[in-house]
Structures are given as C-alpha cells and as structure tokens.
Structure 1
C-alpha cells in the first residue's frame, strides 16, 4: 500500500498532519549518519535491549545500512495490522495519540544531522522507526500502545499545554537547523521557560505524557537488578543507551502509577528510570491512571477540571448528547451534583461523535448552556420518553411548555422542535424561553433568541478535544513553524555518493583505478574536518589509504572535543598498530 493510499484511508482531520516522504531528499551524508548510528547502536544493544528488538528491526523493514522508506515499512507493518505515516517534526500530542489509537505509527520524516548524532532536539526518522517500530511485533506491547493512544486522545490538556507544545515545536525546529542564530534559539528558549515556570498543577495530558515518557520512550523491562531496554528514546540514542546501564548514575525504580509524579527534562540524561515487569504490568499501570481521568469519572469535578483547563473539551450526557467547547461554569446542588453547564464561544453539539444537524459552531457561536438532571415527577430520563409520553406530560411541539428540574431550575417557553435520534430525545428547542435557577438567577432570557436544551440526567464523561473532529478541527498545522531546510554542499554530497558506490561494490576500491583514488584524496584535502566522510572511506580504502584515514581521524578526535567520542567509536573498529618494541635481552 503506497503513501497516498494510506493517507486517503485516514480520517479527514488527520490528513493535514501527514507529509509525503520524498526519499531522494535524503542526502548521501544522511545515509552515512544512519549507517554510523545504527552500526554502533546494534552493537551497544546486543545484550542490553530486550531480545525482541533485533527481530523487530527485521520484521518491520528497518535495515542497518540505509534509511527505511515508508513504503518498505508499510509492507512489513501490514502483516502486523499496523501502518505508518510521515510527519514534519512534533505534532500535537492528542493528534499523535489518535494516530496511535488507529494503529498508525507516526514517523518524523527528517534525519538528524551529523552534528546531532548523540542528541537530536527534534523527532527524526531514526528515533521513530528504529526506536518505536521494532516492538510492534510483540502483540501484547502493540495492544498496550494502541490502548495508550485511545486513552491519551481523551486526556484534558490545558491552554498552557497547547502553548507549550507550540513553543517546544518552534524551539526544536530552530535547534535542529545549524543555520539558526544563537539569538533566535535564546529567544525561543526564554519563551518556553516562561510558559513552563508556572505553579499551575499539571493537567491530565501532562501527567499522561510523563507516563508515556517513562514507559514507551524511556522504559526498562525486567526487575531493578536485571533489566533490558525497550523504550524508544533509549533504543535510538548512542549516549543514553549506554549511560542508562550505569546503576550508579541512573537509579532504577519499579514502575507504578506514581511515575506520573516525576517530571522529565528532554535536554539532559535522565537521573532515574522505571522498570516494568512485563507488557501486562504496563497495561495495568496505564488502566490504573485511566481510571482517575475525567473521561472515566464524569460528574461535577470533571467539569471543573475542564473549566480550569481553559481549553476546548467535551462533556457527554448520559443520553449521548455531547457538548464541545470551552467550559466556563458549572452549577451544583447542595450535595455536589452538577445541575447546569455553560460554555463560552463557539460550541458544537454532537451525538455518537457526529455533529447534530444545525447544532455546529455557526449556530452556537456565542456559547451554550443547559440543565443537567431529572425532572420533577418523571420516573426516568427525559431522553427515554416517546412523543406520546411527552404529550401526556404537556410537552408538545407548538405549545407552551414548562420543565421543572429537581434542582429547582425551571425552563419555560414554547416548544418548537424535538431533535430525536435512535429513539431518544436529544435536543428540545424553545422560543420565547426563560431559564432560571432556584434562587431566581436568569440563566437564559427570552430576548436572547432560541433556547436549545440538551437532554440528560447526568454528565457521564468529560474529555479533551471535540466530539466530531471532522466538523470542528481543534488542531491545524502551523506552516509558520515548518521544519527549516538546510543548504547542502553539492561537492561534499558527491564525495559521499562516490564512497557509497564503492561501498556497494564487492571489490571496494580498485588500487589500479587511479582516477577514483585521486578523487578520494581530493575530497580529503577539500574537507579536512569531515570526520564522517573518513569513516565511510575506511570501508572501501586499501591498506595505504586506510592508514592515512586512521591517522587523520585520530587528529580530528584530539583537536575537536565535539567529535572526540564519535571518532573514538569509529576507531574502535580499527585497533591502533603496535609500536615497535626492542627485543628483550
């Protein structure tokens, strides 16, 4: 299945986040970076990664010698019931989770630069593919990942969370581009710091993100004395996959739901990691947290959580009516039962995740309010009554109608319409209508226009985002923060291409071909600081050239602190020659 076919199979609101992978956009140096990282990762992880990791790489179409194409991956993932799409850097967390719920892996399309081999400030294809994909072959883990997506897409994110996402995305793009100025980066860092320096309690979404970080991204499996790596952030990092095995530097703690109380810093190595016993254990911890979330609990406190978030959320009545908007008020009775809810600004009314005809944001542009609860002398929820039963209670279209709630809220006006679906009364629309509470407060006045009443006796669920995402898109891609493209040196890329062609020839460098050797020597002279080009050449060089390359690499490692460790890793494949020793007496 090709990229466009998969994109066309996605819900409409998710498609704008998906990009096309243009494989030829990867430079020969990008491919060299992939080879270098994967070669050394595979060695480091041989004993420290969960045993399924190596099998998972092979079964999900990820090779060590070249960046995978999304089509290659999808051909393999299809056998596992999953798909993959490429995106541009960070996407909104709720959107990421929704893809995951649909069993779609989100793969950042770009490749980390040679200057960011140890740490990449933005998602890249190596992290997303070689880190996340391999464990999809484990059915229990794949089911856990999908379930995480289902729960994550319901989490309530605060307005501050949404601002922080935009700031993190902007900063990662600037840091990922070598041509960004120091001033641009510092300005973005200050902006993010201001957003993060708040005493506001973390939202549901923020807490769930922490759980995702300590499991999916940085998780260990086994026990605190004997563990293996399964987190994608560790599996795709040359530095942290090694550092995390140091028990003196990194504490190992048993995974519990308390992990959500541990914040993390993406800019430094983690001071502690959490160890899960199994995939079953992962799922148990996830469900334990989910049970505390508003989409499970509903009720007054969940509505208050939505109000505090100041973001678009949805409240679901027990009748099935869904109200999506920015909630600003909830009235309660003396024992804490929610009796009336109110939104401000554009609001959507939906049923079974589909916007009800005539009840989108165009109709409810200025907000929405409606009672919650049972009516006096009604034995069951008003939604369950037939039209004839409504008439028996003096509720008839075209006639004056008075509804009295147990809470003391009164709705009085002329009934104009009953919106019914699945044999349920969902919305009652009134003209010349007044709504007051027990204390005489006016909740709706006749001169305000048509009053639409949502039918329902309780709020059974409250969650982040909107009910019908096709009709009301909460998130939209932001072109102003598209990934910055870096200019490349065509001559340098031609040097990498030449070496790559030689690498693919069984004989490597033919000593008799002077023109090729001259081209390689010219490349070395033209790019004296290009350490990765020299590493690539080692695989094709004859013995004489190899000795020169090794010496130049040693000099580069000594002269440049930034590349010292990388050069040392490369030189590890080529032991230094023994010094001449005098014969013993």
Structure 2
C-alpha cells in the first residue's frame, strides 16, 4: 500500500456510525488459503479469456484500473488505491447484508465486497456472495462515468424504497440457504428444509413491494444486464461476468430469450438459485438511468399523499412520512384518516417512533419519548390562510395560540385539538412541533384520538404529506438494522499438506529463474497427486506452469489425470478456456 493510500480502518472511520458494524476487516495473508488463490487464478483466467469477445469492452480495462489482479485474490487496500482515483471506495462485509444497508453504501459511492472466496466445489456458480463476484463483477465498470453515476443513483433511490415483512423474510431465507449451500459441513436435510422455506416464500401471491420491484430492476441491469441491441449485445451484469457457466450459456438465444429493457422489467421475477430464462438488453448506461428515474417518479417518496401512506401501512415495517413543513415521522405507520377528497387528515404509528427534521432527530423526540407510537393531524386550520408552520410567534399570538395558555385548534377536516400549550419547537423560522398537556384530540365523527390521561401530546405541524419512504429519517439516532451473525456451520479445516503443495506451485510460477523447482518440490507434488486423486485443481496448477517449467513426465501425468477428471466434474469447457492447447 502506498504512503498516500487510505487504510481499511480509515475508510471505516469515515462512514456513518450506523454502517460501521456491517464492515469487517480483510487480512489477505491469513484470510485465504493457497487453494483459494488457485481457485481465483483458474476462474479469472477462464473468465477473461471466455469474456474477451463477449463482455463489454470496458470489462478488461476496468479489471486493471480497479486493482483486480488475475494471479491472486486482491486486497481491499489494492482496490482502494485505484478506486480513489474514480471517487469510489470499497469495504468488505461478511456475506449478505440488509438490502437497505447495501443501497446506502452504494449511494455513498462505497462498493460492498463479500469477504469470502467461493470453494472449488462451487467454482462454476456460487450460491453465496463472494469476493470474485463483488470485485471482478462490479468494480470494472466503475471506470465508466455513466455506469458509476447510475450505480450511485440506484443506491439513492433504493434507500427510499418501501419494503415489507415478506421482503424481510425472503432476505433471511436466501441468506440462510446460501450459507448452508456454501458450507461443506451442512447436512442434506438442512439444505432441503431451507430450500423448502425459500420456495414457499417465493411462491407467495403477495403484491410485490416497491423495494422488491426495484430489486428486480437491479437484478436485470446491474447483476444480469446485457448492453447493445437484441441481435448484437455484450455482457455487463456482474452475475454473468462472475459465472463461468452462465456467461457462456446465456448467449444461446434459443434457450435464453432476449428482451428490450423497459420499466416493465420490474414485473419479471427471478430465481436466484437457477439460470435465468430471459435477459434484458439496454442501449446504454444512460438508458438504464432513464428507466430508473421512470420507476422512481412513481414511488411513494415522490408522490406522497394517502396512496403512499397506504403502501407504508400495508408494509407493516418502519417507514417515514414527511410533512410539507419538513417534519419527518418514522415508525410503523398503522392507520390514517382521510376525507372524501382523499386528503390525509390524521396519521398514526405504533411502537417506537422518531420525529426528525431534515434528516436529524428533533431534540426530545426520539424513540424513547415516543416508544408507544405517535399520532398527529395533517392539514390546514380553519380560517388560516397558510400552513401553521409558516406563522411567526406574533402571528400565533394574534390567533390566540400562546405558550402557557389553553389553546384550541380546529382543522378544516373537523379534527379538534384542545389543551394547554406547553411549548413550540421551531427551526428555520418554522413551527414544527406543538406540545400540549391536558390535551384531547377528537375526529369529526367524535372518535377520541388522544386523551389527557395518555400524557404529553406532541403535534407535528404540516398541511400535507409530501413524501413517504422506507426506513427512518435519522439513521444514526434510530439504528433500524443490526448485523446478523453468520449462522453457518464451521468450515472444514484446511489440509496443511495439500495447501503446501498449492503454495509450492505458486512459488514456482512466480520464480522467473526456476530456483524453486527442484527434486524436493517434485517429490512433494507427486506425493500429493498420489494422495489426492480427485484434486483436479492441483493438476491444473501443474499445467499452468507449462511444459518447459516443470518435469515433462509430471506435466503429462497431470494432463492425463485431469482429462479423466474433467469428464466426471463437467469442467471441460472451463479448462478448455484456460488450456486451449490441451483441451
């Protein structure tokens, strides 16, 4: 790492506090085995050769410019030294993280990279996030300004999307299944049970949430996107670029249908556990940005009003409603009152609720102050020409709204607030919260919305609900998401002798003068070939050295045995890419 490079610890320290717990530290020297590095080398050799003519031209250039080496698993420090020149950073995380957190990182121009390296058993396709997919799949295209801007903007839009309970359950089911499938210690029964849970959730006929629809758009662009024309396209989705199998099979137009990308792509669900039956082709990154904005224009965060509040109520998770005054109410929205014209007259939350302004929690109005919920009118007062938030203190006095006195507020909707006004919270010359004691709030039909016995009544001020978005307004003060433990069964212990053989072969590959390759090395490698008859990757590492750099008999033996094992393991196509002169 250069003297001017930023360390992992410095990057973590620069992040918002609520994001830091999701970040872990990579120790490349101890994190990965020599076999892991061999898996990386094999995959990167196969992918770069196989994708040379089929991936977007930016891909190969992007690998170099974002610090992704072909001969070893890259360190995050190596990547960050390059990404800094592009205005981006990278952090490592432990497996899946909540989608909303992932989007927030992306909005901050931080690339989230899974710490783990896929196993040799899942070489063609990994069910869990891994460092190859996240780094070699996503990072290269950041050198394209339009793509980088699209990715950041996607994060900004994704942060506002309303998820629901079903989304949370689906996320946890996918997370659990991927961990079990990747772990060599998992039992068949465990995997089957996890697959059944995921299948049941996926088969649900529940209406997809905003977040689910946006995730589909992310899948069909960032993960599995094609760019160009229907008849002449290139691969750029990270899921395709990091999958040896699907990067080849997806080009069969008789099997995989190609469709033009429109906003209607959000209506097409996907199955993360299998290859995709159709893919979408975008004209360019600017085209994708247009599609994203077309979708965003109809999100609750843009539209506000009763329809948007209804989305949040149906979601049954924490969301935020924004008054035109700027007051933000964050909690599980549970009910609302509307008039005949569809205007929101009152909103209600249940459970811990936060009140904020411009993304900052208002003093004294955190979840401890409103732990049992919050309710407040929405709309104009009778005979008031402007929103109550816009009145000066003197103007309030002229309307008999005075701190320390009994006050009655009659809304156009018929909602009536009567109580002793204790304080007015103001910011930016606006009235944001009026706090009452001995307060009664009633609706037009006489329904009691608040009683004096319930304590202090804090009334948010505002004439309309202009936005509703997922999550909370002040993420620092109300940390909605916490990192989940990796519930994986312990991985198999590394075989020290086998790892030593891989390390020896890598040392020989990097030894230009050939000093590392001697009788002791030859004896050790031959012994491992004898003791590990199915270790095909070890044989591939022998071939990688080349016939001129290794004992000829050993090279021939590795080729013969590998040829026999390839048929069994169905890796002939991949080996043919890496060793075209042999397979």
Instruction: Tell me the TM-score normalised to structure 2 length.
Output: 0.96
Aligned length: 573
Matched, 1:532 2:540: no
Q: Report the CA distance shift for 1:565/1:34 in structure 2 as closer, same or farther (over 3 A).
A: same
**What is the deviation of 1:569?**
4.9
Is the 1:509–1:542 Cα contact (8 Å) retained in structure 2?
no
Kept after mapping to 2: 8 A contact 1:132/1:232: yes
1:22 deviation in Å? 1.2
Counterpart CA distance in 1 for 2:288 and 2:578 is 37
Which residue is 2:48 aligned to?
42
1:554 corresponds to which residue? Answer: 563
2:197 alignment counterpart: 191
Distance across 2 between alignment mates of 1:539 and 1:510: 15
Partner of 2:10: 5
SS in 1 for 2:353: strand
Offset at residue 218 of structure 1 (A): 0.6
* Map of 1:176 onto structure 2: 182
Q: Identify which of 518, 527, 533 aligns with 2:523.
A: 518
- Contact 1:88–1:483 (CA<8 Å) still a contact in 2? no
How big is the shift at 1:172?
A: 0.8
Cα drift, residue 279 of structure 1: 1.2
CA distance in 2, matches of 1:232, 1:108: 13
Q: Distance in 1 between matches of 2:191 and 2:73?
A: 29
Pairwise CA distance, 1:567 = 4.9
Q: Which aligned pairs between 1:261-276 and structure 2 lie closer than 5 A?
A: 261-276=267-282
Q: Which residue, out of 397, 404, 408, partners 1:398?
A: 404
Note closer, same or farther for the CA distance 1:129–1:434 as it changes in structure 2 (3 Å cut): same
Residue-by-residue CA offset, 1:519-550 (whole Å, 9 max, x unaligned): 11111111111000000011332322111111
Q: Which moved more, 1:22-31 or 1:9-18?
A: 22-31
Q: For residues 67 and 510 of structure 1, do their structure 2 counterparts lie closer, same or farther at Cα, with a shift above 3 Å needed? A: closer
Distance 2:249 2:405 in 1: 75
Q: Which runs of 5+ in 2 are unaligned?
A: 1-5
The alpha carbon displacement at 1:393 in A equals 0.3
Partner secondary structure for residue 327 of structure 1: strand
Cα distance between partner residues in 2 of 1:2 and 1:230: 29
The answer for the alignment partner of 2:3 in structure 1 is none
Using the TM superposition, give the Cα deviation of residue 564 of structure 1 relative to its aligned residue in structure 2, in angstroms.
5.1
Could you say which residue in structure 2 is the equivalent of 1:542?
Answer: 551
- Give the Å deviation of 1:462: 0.2
Equivalence map 1:412-427=2 (5 Å): 412-427=418-433
1:572 matched residue in structure 2: 580
> Runs ≥4 in structure 1, deviation > 3 angstroms?
482-486, 507-511, 561-573
Equivalent-residue separation in structure 2 for 1:482 and 1:424 (angstroms): 52
**8 Å CA contact retained: 2:408, 2:419:** yes
Maintained 8 Å contact 2:356/2:473: yes
Tell me what 1:286 maps to.
292
Residue 515 (structure 2) pairs with residue 506 (structure 1): no
Task: Give the match's secondary structure for 1:419.
Answer: strand
- CA deviation string 1:157-215 (max 9, x = no partner): 00111121112111111111111111111122222223333221000000000000000
Cα distance in 2 between the residues matched to 1:486 and 1:510: 30
The equivalent of 1:582 in structure 2 is none
Alignment counterpart, residue 157 of structure 1, candidates 163, 168, 190: 163
- Structure 2 CA distance, aligned partners of 1:563 and 1:226? 28
Distance 1:70 1:106 in 2: 10
- 2:325 partner SS: coil
Equivalent pair of 1:557/1:568 in contact (CA under 8 Å): no
RMSD of Structure 2 on Structure 1 (CA):
1.4
Which whole-Å CA distance do the structure 2 matches of 1:507 and 1:548 have between them? 24
Quote how far apart the aligned CAs of 1:508 are. Answer: 4.4
Could you list the per-position Cα deviations for residues 264-312 of structure 1 after superposition, in whole angstroms to 9, with x for gaps in the alignment? Answer: 0111111111111111111100000000100000000000000000000
Counterpart-to-counterpart distance in 1, 2:445 and 2:214 = 40
The yes-or-no answer on 1:445 pairing with 2:454 is: no
The 1:14–1:245 alpha-carbon spacing in structure 2 relative to 1, beyond 3 Å, is same
Equivalent in the alignment of 2:238: 232
User: What is aligned with 1:128?
Assistant: 134
Structure-2 separation of matches of 1:114 and 1:520: 19
1:519 counterpart SS class: helix
Is residue 88–residue 482 contact of structure 1 (8 Å, CA) maintained in 2? no
Alpha-carbon distance in structure 2 between the residues aligned to 1:479 and 1:459: 38
2:122 to 88, 103, 116: 116
TM value normalised by structure 1? 0.96
Distance 1:150 1:526 in 2: 53
* Distance in 2 (alpha carbons) for counterparts of 1:485 and 1:295: 43
Tell me the equivalent position of 2:19.
14
For the Cα contact (< 8 Å) 1:218–1:234, is it kept in 2? Answer: yes
* d(CA) in 2 for partners of 1:485, 1:85: 23
Output aligned runs, 1:310-325, within 5 Å. 310-325=316-331
Is the 2:405–2:421 contact (alpha carbons within 8 Å) kept by the matching residues of 1?
yes
Contact 1:61 1:73 in 2 (8 A): yes
Check conservation: 1:556, 1:564, Cα contact below 8 A.
no
The superposition leaves residues 472-492 of structure 1 with CA deviations (integer Å, 9 ceiling, x where unpaired) of 111101125368544211111
Cross-structure match for 1:580 = none
**Residues 388/483 of structure 1: CA separation in 2 closer, same or farther (3 Å cut):** farther
Deviation digits for residues 145-165 of structure 1 (CA, Å, limit 9, x no counterpart): 100000001000001111211
| Alpha-carbon distance between aligned partners in 2 of 1:110 and 1:289, rounded to the nearest angstrom | 34
1:467 corresponding residue in structure 2: 473
* Structure 1 counterpart SS, 2:395: helix
User: Is contact 1:89–1:483 with CA below 8 Å preserved after alignment?
Assistant: no
Q: Check the 8 A contact 2:183/2:488 in 1, yes or no.
A: no
Paired position in structure 1 for 2:437? 431
Alignment of 1:238-249 (within 5 A): 238-249=244-255
